[in-house]
Amino acid sequence: MAAQLQGKIKPGRASLIGGIAVGVGVFGLWVALARDLGAGGTGTIVVGFVVAAAIAAWIRIADL
């Protein structure tokens, strides 16, 4: 009976949440590293966002 009460995590939802979390982490690290290296600017942020989005999508698709 205890096994029936446990919730199940759907793999699709878990990979979506994991992909988003990894994307946010990558973007945060990108911005921090760019600031420390003195490579600020809109272009650097945009490239960081594109890289983070690509990695997040890759994690999402690879987990399915």
Residue 56's pLDDT is what? Answer: 92
pTM: 0.75
| Coil, strand or helix at 41 | coil
CA–CA separation, 23 and 57 (whole Å) = 8
pLDDT given at position 48:
95
Task: Quickly count: other Cβ atoms within 10 Å of residue 26's Cβ.
Answer: 19
* Per-position b or e across 35-56, b if 16+ CB within 10 A of its CB: eeeeeeeeebeeebeeebeebb
Q: Tokens 């946010």 appear where?
A: 24
Q: What is the chain's pLDDT, residue by residue, as a tens digit (64 residues)?
A: 455 656 666 667 778 888 899 999 999 999 999 999 998 789 999 999 999 999 999 988 887 6
- Predicted local confidence at residue 5, as pLDDT: 57
pLDDT of residue 7: 66
